[in-house]
Amino acid sequence: MTDRRIHKNKIKFHKDAFDKTSEERRNSVLSIALGEFASKGYSATSINDIARDAGVSIGAMYSYFASKEDLFLTIVNEGHFLMVEILSAIGENSSDVFDCVKKMITSSRTFALEHTLLNQIYLDLTTQALSPLAVRLSSELEQVTPVLLSSIIDKAKAEGLVSEHVDAKMASFCIDNILMIYQFSFSSDYYKERMRMYLGDEELTDIEKVEAKMMQFIKRAILL
């Protein structure tokens, strides 16, 4: 297990010039763009606004990115890279399925809280209108989770930890559905409110307990 990198992230959506500017400029552009795309959505975001707020000329903007689309994808791509890294780490450092799922639950929340804007953008990307953009990322988005989850469940089945009646693929799908929306529940106002309706305000104050219950739900579903 030498190469811990599942994902290589070869694709880049920016021009060479972007690599050559000062890190300050780069960060400024990316963070402003992140904020704009996250709060307004792809369509409603203006590249001119981003340029102005980032203190960069639009001319420079277009010397960094060939198009608004490419700027957007650059951000999504970086975000995805982050998530994949976290997932890979979890995959490698988990003793068993339950440990793994537990860590995934927690990191769903922490990732959404630490990278709220990124998460909002990711939600936007799943939208039908942005499917043409998602397609451009498809090779990158080749999901890590399906493989990770179902292989770890299969292993657990072999070890007798998980019932042989459990369908690994379906279980992975269901678990990821649960986690995906859980994650959105910390970044999108819509899902935040929805979670509040399900779990109530008070319950949510003790997030450890919430996650313990979620763990329990999943555990019951696959346990021997």
Answer yes or no whether residue 12 interacts with DNA by CB under 7 A: no
How many residues line the site for its own copies (CB under 8 A)? 63
The answer for residues whose C-beta is within 8 angstroms of residue 96's C-beta and 6 or more apart is: 152, 156, 159, 161
Map residue 162 onto helix, strand or coil.
strand
Nearer to DNA by Cβ, of 15 and 194: the residue is: 15
Minimal distance, residue 127 CB to DNA, in Å = 16
Using the rule CB under 7 A, which residue among 31, 63, 106, 116 binds DNA?
63
Using the rule CB under 8 A, which residue among 136, 154, 161, 173 binds its own copies?
173
Whether residue 174 contacts residue 221, with contact meaning beta carbons closer than 8 Å, is answered with yes
C-alpha 2 chain-centroid distance: 25
Site for its own copies in 95-124 (CB under 8 A): 120, 123-124
How many residues line the site for DNA (CB under 7 A)? 24
Contact partner, 22, from its own copies, DNA, none, Cβ < 5-8 Å per class:
DNA
Query: Alpha-carbon distance 211 to 140, whole Å?
Result: 30
Q: Which two tokens stand for residue 158?
A: 């072999």
At what angle are helices 144-158 and 168-184 packed, to 10 degrees?
130
Site for its own copies in 35-54 (CB under 8 A): 38-44
List contacts with DNA (CB under 7 A): 16-17, 20-22, 25, 44-49, 56-64, 67-69
